[in-house]
Amino acid sequence: MTKLLIQNIKISLHESESTAISKAKKIVSQDGLNSNSFAYSIFKKSIDARDKKNILLVYSVLAETYSTIKLKDSSKLKLMTEEEIIPIYGDETINNRPIVVGMGPAGMFCALLLAEHGYNPIIIDRGDNVQDRVNAMEQFASHGILDTESNVQFGAGGAGTFSDGKLTTRINDSKCSYILRRFVEFGAPSEILTKAKPHIGTDILRNVVNNILSRIEELGGTVIYRCRMDELRINNNTIEVITTKGNFTTDAIVLAIGHSARDTYRMLINKNFTIEPKPFSVGVRIEHLREDIDKALYGDFAGDPKLGPAEYNLSDTKGTRGVYTFCMCPGGEVVPATSQEYGVCVNGMSFHARDGKNSNCAVNVSVNTSDFGNDPLRGIIFQEDLEKKAYIAGGGDYYAPIQLMGDFMSGKVKNSPSRITPSYGYGNRTTVADLSTVLPDFVTTRLREGFSIFDRKIQGFAANDAVLTAVETRTSAPLRIIRNESMQSISNPHIYPCGEGAGYAGGIMSSAVDGIKVALSIMNKYKPN
């Protein structure tokens, strides 16, 4: 099968996808090929809204044929290949089942691939299954009852389970298409295969997570919830894993621990693992009315079903440090992301329909390692300190501190939300406060500069009644567990740091890809049972 990609086909909103297919056929013919010998399908679609009076839909079309073809040197067509995961098995015998610590995207996809090739992995997580996590999250959001083991950060699916389920990524890895296909196989909507900015939505993602973990068990793997890893005891050729549900011995352990496993980080640091600090970012969540953002980006076409809720991605790197938007959730809500007592931090979440009243995103400022002392432990402490300050500013009981944009920009605290209702804690668990008491001066300064710059790009972004909720600290891990080219910790070849928590990914897609790479590395060393 030969696959060709025809890119950058633009049509107007009133035209149908068949118009894009017709334009693709014409381009194939112009290349001297028989256009009728191909089967055509939509490969990707995106929106070009730079001109609000003439918003365009931009398509890439896939043309497939069994015929042998030769492209011209000047061809506008691109040959396509799909990534297939083909393991190369090693010669060593694995005497003890591999253990994967963490059920986020990295851990799940790593365990899934190992299970599919006969390695019978054990995957553990300190948190609960999906439904129990949902119950714990609702109790926390509604009543401030925090379960430090099962929350937005810990449990089946990891932090991504309570997110927008965005599948966009900056990495350029052919395994991304493989990951998308697997998501669809396990219940994600097929539209993620074609959208330029695909998302699943937390409601559908929960079912996908359940299906992946069930498949791991069907294939001979073991899934254990409420199983926190407390210690690693290193022997000659094995690792003893000390957990709250007993001890396990393994020849290979994958540390897909997520960016919030701070006690695990401390344990590894105390055991002198080679770990380095890395930059991260902190900031706030900003909420606007969804209809305001739609109008600002789409003008008179706002509300057109072909466009859906408007998304944005903004950044400014001209100042002393970067300020940028992150994890934009159209029609979503701000959720409590705390996993430690007496701290407040926030994240964003939306359902597949993205039909909530508000749209929100994180606005973050870069934090360099020099800001916290070039020490991995100090990066953790830096984050924890901000979360404690947010807890105090919110008045305790896990209320989140909020401030209106106009007050934040003028350095005052005098107004409460009216037109825009904050969504944190279902709108009932916020306290108007001075966010400058929570964030360092270098963050508040760059936020104010960034808001002004972003307002020039999106009219109304810095509207006086936009709601800011603090504090956003869990954008990425503050450290990196150093590994070699074989994905093994340089401190011990039986330990495989993996995913976002190990400092090698950022988001669902890159974490899942990293999980695949680690699984392939384990298979490259050991032969299946």
Q: How many whole angstroms separate alpha carbon 393 and alpha carbon 155?
A: 28
Burial (Cβ within 10 Å: 0-12, 13-18, ≥19) of residue 318: exposed
H-only helix segments in 120-174: 130-143
| Tens digits of residue pLDDT in 69-107 | 888 877 889 888 777 899 999 999 999 999 999 999 999
* CATH fold for the domain made of 2-79: Alpha-Beta Plaits (3.30.70)
Domain boundaries, the chain: 2-79, 92-276+480-527, 279-472
The answer to whether 500 touches 258, Cβ cutoff 8 Å, is yes
Mean pLDDT of 236-242: 94
The answer to whether 241 touches 235, Cβ cutoff 8 Å, is no
pLDDT over threshold 80, residue 319 = no
Q: How many residues in the chain?
A: 529
Q: What angle do CA 241, 246, 251 make, to 5 degrees?
A: 30
| Tens digits of residue pLDDT in 192-208 | 999 999 999 999 999 99
Two domains, one topology: 2-79 and 92-276+480-527: no
Q: What's the token pair of residue 354? A: 């993205």
Mean pLDDT of 340-364: 97
Average predicted confidence (pLDDT) for the chain: 95
Cα dist from 112 to 66, 99, 105, 169, whole Å: 32, 12, 10, 21
Of 54, 77, 109, give the one whose Cα is nearest residue 2: 77
Cα dist from 217 to 96, 98, 120, 310, 508, whole Å: 17, 14, 9, 39, 22
| Residue type, position 331, single letter | G
| CATH number for the segment(s) 92-276+480-527 | 3.50.50.60
* 1 vs 528 pLDDT, higher one: 528
Q: Tell me the sheet residues that pair with 402.
A: 432, 469
3-state secondary structure of 34: coil
**DSSP count for the chain of H helices, then E strands:** 11, 25
Q: What angle do CA 513, 354, 187 make, to 5 degrees?
A: 45
Tell me the CB-side half-sphere exposure of residue 315, using CA atoms within 13 A. Answer: 8
Q: What is the pLDDT of residue 81?
A: 79
Q: What is the pLDDT of residue 75?
A: 83
pLDDT band per the 50, 70, 90 thresholds, residue 44: very high
Q: Any idea which residue has 């540390």 for tokens?
A: 255
pTM tops 0.85: yes
Q: What is the pLDDT of residue 424?
A: 97
User: Which phi and psi (to 5°) does residue 86 adopt?
Assistant: -120, 100
Q: How many whole angstroms separate alpha carbon 38 and alpha carbon 30?
A: 14
